[in-house]
Amino acid sequence: MNTLTEFKEIDPYLPVDLDVFHVGSQLAFDLYLKDGATMKQALVRGTWFNAPLREGFLNKGVSKLYIKADDKALFDRYYRQVSLLKESQKDRSFSFREYSYLKDRFLQINADLLIEGTEITFSLYNLCKITFSPVVEASVSAPVRLTAGMIADAGCDVLIKDKEIHLYQEYLAETLRARSGRNAAKKQRKVSILREHAKIVLKEILDDPLSSLKYSTVESLAGDLTAEILQNEHVVHHLIAVRRHDFYSYVHSFNTAVLAAGLAAHIGLDRNAVHRILTGMMLHDVGKRTIPPYVLHKLGNLTDTEYALYKQHVVASGALLEKEKKVPKEALTIALQHHERLNGKGYPYKLSGAAISMQGRIAAIADAFDALTTPRPHKYPLSPFYALQLLAREAVYYDKDLLASFIKMLGDVE
Ligand SMILES: [Fe+2]
Ligand SMILES: [Fe+2]
Give the chain as a 3 state SS string. Answer: CECCCCCCCCCCEEEEEHHHCCCCEECCCCEEEEECCEEEEEECCCCEECHHHHHHHHHCCCCEEEEEHHHHHHHHHHHHHHHHHHHHCCCCCCCHHHHHHHHHCEEEECHHHCCCCCEECCCEEEEECCEEEEEECCCCCCCEECCHHHHCCCCCEEEEEHHHHHHHHHHHHHHHHHCCCCHHHHHHHHHHHHHHHHHHHHHHHHHCCCCCCCHHHHHHHHHHHHHHHHHCCCHHHHHHCCCCCCCCHHHHHHHHHHHHHHHHHHCCCCHHHHHHHHHHHHCCCHHHHHCCHHHHCCCCCCCHHHHHHHHCHHHHHHHHHHHCCCCCHHHHHHHHHCCCCCCCCCCCCCCCHHHCCHHHHHHHHHHHHHHHHCCECCECCCCHHHHHHHHHHCCCCCCHHHHHHHHHHHCCEC
What average pLDDT does range 171-194 have in this prediction? 84
Contacts of residue 164, Cβ cutoff 8 Å, sequence gap at least 6: 121, 122, 123
d(CA 1, CA 230): 26
- How high is the pLDDT of residue 36? 85
- How high is the pLDDT of residue 328? 93
What average pLDDT does range 8-29 have in this prediction? 84
- Of 99-103, 160-164, 179-183, 237-241, the one with minimum mean pLDDT is 179-183
- How high is the pLDDT of residue 93? 44
What is the pTM assigned to this prediction?
A: 0.82
Q: How far is the CA of 78 from the centre of ligand 1 (A)?
A: 27
Ligand nearest to the CA of 248: 2
Q: How far is the CA of 281 from the centre of ligand 2 (A)?
A: 8
- Of 91-95, 144-148, 221-225, the one with minimum mean pLDDT is 91-95
Q: How far is the CA of 91 from the centre of ligand 2 (A)?
A: 35
Residue 332, φ and ψ in degrees, nearest 5: -65, -40
Residue 94 in this model has a pLDDT that exceeds 80:
no
- How high is the pLDDT of residue 130? 78
Q: How far is the CA of 214 from the centre of ligand 1 (A)?
A: 20
For domain 183-410, give the fold.
Answer: Hypothetical protein af1432 (1.10.3210)
Ligand nearest to the CA of 260: 2
Q: How far is the CA of 371 from the centre of ligand 2 (A)?
A: 7
How distant, in Å, are the alpha carbons of 28, 46, 95, 251 from that of 23? 14, 14, 23, 33
Ligand nearest to the CA of 370: 2
What average pLDDT does range 248-257 have in this prediction? 94
Confidence of residue 3 (pLDDT cuts 50, 70, 90): very low
Ligand 2 ion: nearby residues, β-carbon < 5 Å:
285, 367
- How high is the pLDDT of residue 220? 97
- How high is the pLDDT of residue 143? 96
Ligand nearest to the CA of 335: 1
Question: How many C-beta atoms lie closer than 10 Å to residue 117's C-beta?
Answer: 8
Ligand nearest to the CA of 371: 2
**pLDDT one-digit tens code per residue, 105-144:** 899 999 999 999 999 999 999 888 777 888 999 999 999 9
Could you tell me if 245 and 375 are in contact, meaning their C-beta atoms sit under 8 angstroms apart? yes
Q: How far is the CA of 142 from the centre of ligand 2 (A)?
A: 40
Q: How far is the CA of 201 from the centre of ligand 1 (A)?
A: 18
- How high is the pLDDT of residue 314? 97
Candidate ranges 55-59, 206-210, 369-373; pick with highest mean pLDDT: 369-373
What average pLDDT does range 318-344 have in this prediction? 95
Q: How far is the CA of 161 from the centre of ligand 2 (A)?
A: 24
Q: How far is the CA of 321 from the centre of ligand 2 (A)?
A: 15
Report the percentage of the chain scoring pLDDT > 70. Answer: 93
Q: How far is the CA of 128 from the centre of ligand 1 (A)?
A: 25
What average pLDDT does range 28-53 have in this prediction? 89
Q: How far is the CA of 268 from the centre of ligand 2 (A)?
A: 24
d(CA 130, CA 119): 28
Candidate ranges 124-133, 218-227, 369-378; pick with highest mean pLDDT: 218-227
Ligand nearest to the CA of 347: 1
- Of 178-187, 247-256, 278-287, 399-408, the one with minimum mean pLDDT is 178-187
Residue 95 in this model has a pLDDT that exceeds 90:
no
Q: How far is the CA of 276 from the centre of ligand 2 (A)?
A: 17
Q: How far is the CA of 285 from the centre of ligand 1 (A)?
A: 5
Q: How far is the CA of 320 from the centre of ligand 1 (A)?
A: 14
Report the percentage of the chain scoring pLDDT > 90. Answer: 57
Q: How far is the CA of 46 from the centre of ligand 2 (A)?
A: 37
- How high is the pLDDT of residue 339? 98
- How high is the pLDDT of residue 243? 66
- How high is the pLDDT of residue 242? 67
- How high is the pLDDT of residue 91? 46
What average pLDDT does range 1-28 have in this prediction? 74
Candidate ranges 2-6, 20-24, 182-186, 399-403; pick with highest mean pLDDT: 399-403
Closest of 299, 292, 207, 290 to residue 251, by C-alpha: 207
Ligand nearest to the CA of 314: 1
Confidence of residue 92 (pLDDT cuts 50, 70, 90): very low
Confidence of residue 12 (pLDDT cuts 50, 70, 90): confident
- How high is the pLDDT of residue 2? 42
- How high is the pLDDT of residue 300? 77
Q: How far is the CA of 48 from the centre of ligand 2 (A)?
A: 38
